[in-house]
Structure 1
C-alpha cells in the first residue's frame, strides 16, 4: 500500500500488507516469546521504559517529522504526542512494580486466614491503533501491556505507520527483547478476524460502530477488551468565567490536531450574560490561527489527514448551513495551502436537524449555544450517546468541580479543554456510554492487562463445624463472630 502525505499528496512510503495467515503466524511467535518476558523481573522491564523515555526526548525531532508528514499536524500538536509518550514511559517506568506487587487483604478469620492478590499477565495483547494520535496512543496502550509481562501484536493504521515503527525501534534500542512487541500492517477487513481471535485481550481505539463489531466477535471467546470510541464533547462556560482565558482555551480545545482528536470539544454552551463577548473573542482568536504544512513551529493548525476526513467535515458544515446554521468564521476547504486543509470553523444557530448537532464531526468545527439555567446546560451537555470528555470554565474551582461531577464523561477538565486529563497519565482515561469500555493510563491502564488471582492460606481453625458440633450451634457462633469482626479496623 502506498501512503501519501496529507500536506502534499505525495507518496511517502510503501507498506507490505499482511494476510490473515501472516497475522496468525506473528501471534504464534509472540506467544512463544511471552513466557521469557513474563519471567523478566518487573524492575528490569521498568528500566527499559526509563531508557525509552530519554531516547524519545533526545530524538524528538525525528518523531516530530514523522507525525507531521503522516498525520498532517502542526508541529506543536506533534510535540503533544512526544510529551505524552515521554510522560507515559516515565509513569510506568516508575510505578509498574508498585502497581503489580502482591497485595495482602483481610482474611476470613483474623490470624487464622491470610489472603492476598496476585496479578498475572494475560498473554498476547492485540492492539489496534488509530491514525490520529499514532505516537501517543501507541505508547499509552503498548507500554503498560508490556510492563504487565505480556507480549504485544500491534496493528497501527497504515496512514501513520512510521510513527509507531519509530517508537518500536527506540524501545528495542532501549533494551526490549526482539519479538516481545511486534507490528503488523494490513486492512482490518483482511486481518481483523485474526486480531480478534488470536488476542488474549484486545485494545481498540476508533469509531463506535467498529468497536461494537469487535466486541461482538470477542464476546464468543470470553476474552477481555478495552475500547476507546467516539465523542461529541461539550464545554460549559459559566457566567463568572474569565472570558479571554476561556476563549483562548476553547481554541486549543477545538482546533488542536485540526479537531481530529477523540477528546476535542465540538459543542460550547455559554451563559447568555457573556455569550456575545465570548463569541466575539473566540472568533477573533480562531481567525488569528495560522494554517500551514511546514516542518517547523510556524503554523498553529495543520491539515486534515485524509480525503475521507475532508469530505466528512465539508459535508457536516454544508448540511448545517443548509439547515439554518450561521458560519461565523471558516467553513471552507483551503486547497491553496494543500489538498486536505480546512479552515477552523465556528457555527451558531445550529438546529437539531443538522447532522453535526448530534454526530461526531472529528474535525476543526465547533458550535456555540447559549444557556441561562445551569441545570439545563448540564442536561444538554449530557444529552448525547457519547461520554468521553468535557470541559468546564469558571473562576470558582469548587463550583467547577461540582459541575464536572454531574457530567457523564470519562474525563472532565476545569479551566482546560482536554490536556489536563490527557497529560495526567496517573489517572484513568476512557469513555462512558457509547464512548467506550475500559480505561487507559494510571493503575487501571496497567491492571486491565492482567488476570487478578486471589490466594488464601487457612491455618488452625477450619471454616466448617468440627465433628460433633451441631450446625445450628456453629452458625450461631459464627454469626456473633461476624458481627464482632465488623468493629475491627481494616475490616
Structure 2
C-alpha cells in the first residue's frame, strides 16, 4: 500500500463568476469569425455548421465558430495562391514593416489577447503573457533578420571566372499551418510570421478550442497592413479540414501529437510535399551530484508546471544523483506546495486549470494508475473542484516503474516523476529511454561537464541550469525534436528557410562549357585541355 505525505496546499486564487471577458461582445466575435474562409459553401458566421468550445474556468460555452468543408479549404488555398504573387514581389523591407506594425499593435493591445487566451485555455495569465512576449520576439527577429537569412549566396562555378553561380531562396507558395490548443498565439502565429516574410501565403487551421485567439490575431494583422487574402483561416475537425489542407498546400507546418504527425507526414509524402513537424515529448531533467539543489528544484518546478504541464517541452521525468536525491526531493516538494493553483484574469495564480475534461481525465488516469500499482504521491494527486472544474494539483510521484503508463507515455499535465541514479552514464541511459527526443535539462555547477553530458542526450534542445525556457526563448537557435518528437526546426535560420526552396542560378560567360564544335579532334582536344586544367587546380589547391 502506498502512503501520501501530509500536504497543505497554498490558498487558491478566487474563481471567476463569469469566464467571458467583459469587453468581448457578440459583435466583436462576429467580426473575428468573418475571417473564417467560407467562400465555397457561402455560409457566414450566422449560418451553416458551427462548433462551440467550452471555457475551462466554468465549462460555459465560449462562442460558435463556423465549420469549414473540404471545398472551403480548396477555395481558401486558391484565394491565398492568388494573393501570393504580388506579395512575393513586394520588397522584403515592406513585408517586414507590416510585421513590425503587428508587433507594436500586439504589445499595445496585449491585455485583450491575454483575456482571450485565458478564456479559451484556462492557463495562468503569466503563462498567457509568455505567448505575447515570444510572438513579439519572433516578429522583431525575423523582420530584422529575414534579409540575412534569405540573402542570395555566391558560389564558384565549374570553371572559375567563366561560370557565375548564385544560390537564391524562392518561396514555397502556399504554406499550410496546423496549430494546437495549448499555445494558440505562439504556435498559431509564431510560424505564420516567417512564412509570410519569406514571400508565401498561409492557410492556417485553427484548433476548435482556441479559434477565437487566432481569429483575433488575424484581425490585428489586417490592421497592421497585411493584404487581404494572404493569410486565410479554416476551422473544423482535423480528420476533415486538416486532411484537406495537407492535400492542397505546398508545404505543411504541423504541431501536435506524434500519432497525428505521422499521418500528416505520410499524407504529405504522397504528394512529395515537404513537412515540418513538432510532436510529443517525455522530457528528462538530470540533477548531477554537484548541482545547486535549491536552484535545481526551483527550475524543475517552472519547467514541469508551466501552463499546467500542457507544453510539449515541459519536464516529466527527473533523475537526481543518489547523493543529493533526498535533499533535492525535499526542496522540490516544498517548492511545488508553494505554487498557487487558481483561475482568474489577473496574475494571482501560478498555474491554472487544465484546458479540457479529456485532458483532466488523462492526467487522473496516469496518476491513479501509478498509485494503484505502488507509486507514492509526494504531493498533489487530486482534483480541486472548489477552485475550478478542471483544476488539478501539481503532482510529484516517486517509485514509478515501467508497467505504469506514466513512466513512458506523455502525460501532458501537471505531473512529474522522480527517480535516482548513480553515475553519469546511467543518467544518460535513463534520459534516452523511449522514442522521444524533444527537450532535456542538466543541472550542474560544472557547466563543461554538463555540456559533455548534453551531447550524449538524444534531444533537439538541452538546457544547462535551466529547465526549458533558455533554448526555446533563443529565437536565433533552432527548436525541434529528434526521433518521435518530429522533423525540422522552428526559430533561427531554418525557421524561415524551410518555407523556401533553394534555387541555383548559373550564368555562363565568354565561352560555353564543352567542346567548341563537334568532331573527334575537337572533342579529344577539349578533353586534354580540361584534364590539364583539373590537374593544375589540384596542384594549386583549388577545391
1:206 matched residue in structure 2: 256
**Which of 517, 521, 524 pairs up with 1:469?**
524
1:197 matched residue in structure 2: 247
CA contact (8 A) 2:205 2:242 kept: no
Could you report, residue by residue, the CA deviation over 1:50-81 in whole angstroms, capped at 9, with x for unpaired residues? 11111111111111111111111001111110
The answer on 1:23 being equivalent to 2:73 is yes
Q: How far does residue 407 in structure 1 lie from its aligned partner after superposition? A: 1.1
Aligned pairs for 1:251-270 within 5 A: 251-270=301-320
Counterpart-to-counterpart distance in 1, 2:523 and 2:531: 15
Aligned pairs for 1:74-473 within 5 A: 74-460=124-510, 462-465=512-515, 467=522, 469-470=524-525, 473=528
Counterpart-to-counterpart distance in 2, 1:482 and 1:435: 45
Q: Which consecutive unaligned segments of at least 5 residues does structure 1 have?
A: none
CA contact (8 A) 1:428 1:444 kept: yes
CA contact (8 A) 2:171 2:199 kept: yes
Mark the CA change 1:472 to 1:243 in structure 2 (over 3 Å): closer, same or farther: same
Mark the CA change 1:42 to 1:484 in structure 2 (over 3 Å): closer, same or farther: farther
Counterpart-to-counterpart distance in 1, 2:262 and 2:109: 38
Q: How far does residue 323 in structure 1 lie from its aligned partner after superposition? A: 2.0
Mark the CA change 1:356 to 1:478 in structure 2 (over 3 Å): closer, same or farther: farther
Q: How far does residue 101 in structure 1 lie from its aligned partner after superposition? A: 1.8
1:56 matched residue in structure 2: 106
- Secondary structure, aligned partner of 1:427: coil
Could you report, residue by residue, the CA deviation over 1:352-385 in whole angstroms, capped at 9, with x for unpaired residues? 1111111100000011111111011011101120
Counterpart-to-counterpart distance in 2, 1:115 and 1:248: 53
CA contact (8 A) 1:465 1:474 kept: no
Counterpart-to-counterpart distance in 2, 1:352 and 1:475: 65
Q: How far does residue 475 in structure 1 lie from its aligned partner after superposition? A: 5.8
Counterpart-to-counterpart distance in 2, 1:159 and 1:230: 19
Counterpart-to-counterpart distance in 1, 2:514 and 2:291: 64
Return 473-482 or 65-74, whichever deviates more.
Answer: 473-482
Q: How far does residue 470 in structure 1 lie from its aligned partner after superposition? A: 4.7
Counterpart-to-counterpart distance in 2, 1:398 and 1:244: 21
Counterpart-to-counterpart distance in 1, 2:539 and 2:56: 69
- Secondary structure, aligned partner of 2:263: helix
Q: Which consecutive unaligned segments of at least 5 residues does structure 2 have?
A: 1-50, 517-521
Q: How far does residue 462 in structure 1 lie from its aligned partner after superposition? A: 4.5
- Taking structure 1 as the reference length, what is the TM-score of the superposition? 0.97
Return 74-83 or 182-191, whichever deviates more.
Answer: 182-191
- Secondary structure, aligned partner of 1:273: coil
Q: How far does residue 140 in structure 1 lie from its aligned partner after superposition? A: 2.0
2:97 matched residue in structure 1: 47
CA contact (8 A) 1:325 1:348 kept: yes
- Secondary structure, aligned partner of 2:312: coil
Counterpart-to-counterpart distance in 2, 1:199 and 1:35: 15
- Secondary structure, aligned partner of 2:348: coil
Q: How far does residue 476 in structure 1 lie from its aligned partner after superposition? A: 3.5
Q: How far does residue 190 in structure 1 lie from its aligned partner after superposition? A: 2.0
Mark the CA change 1:461 to 1:481 in structure 2 (over 3 Å): closer, same or farther: farther
2:40 matched residue in structure 1: none
CA contact (8 A) 1:88 1:139 kept: no
**Which of 480, 484, 487 pairs up with 2:535?**
480
- Secondary structure, aligned partner of 1:149: coil
Counterpart-to-counterpart distance in 2, 1:292 and 1:421: 28
CA contact (8 A) 2:178 2:242 kept: no
Return 105-114 or 261-270, whichever deviates more.
Answer: 105-114
Figure out how many residues of one structure are paired with residues of the other and give that number: 488
CA contact (8 A) 2:280 2:312 kept: yes
CA contact (8 A) 2:138 2:190 kept: yes
Counterpart-to-counterpart distance in 1, 2:156 and 2:534: 18
Counterpart-to-counterpart distance in 2, 1:432 and 1:256: 23
Q: How far does residue 463 in structure 1 lie from its aligned partner after superposition? A: 3.8
- Secondary structure, aligned partner of 2:323: helix
CA contact (8 A) 1:236 1:391 kept: yes
- Secondary structure, aligned partner of 2:113: helix
Counterpart-to-counterpart distance in 2, 1:478 and 1:345: 71
Mark the CA change 1:320 to 1:474 in structure 2 (over 3 Å): closer, same or farther: farther
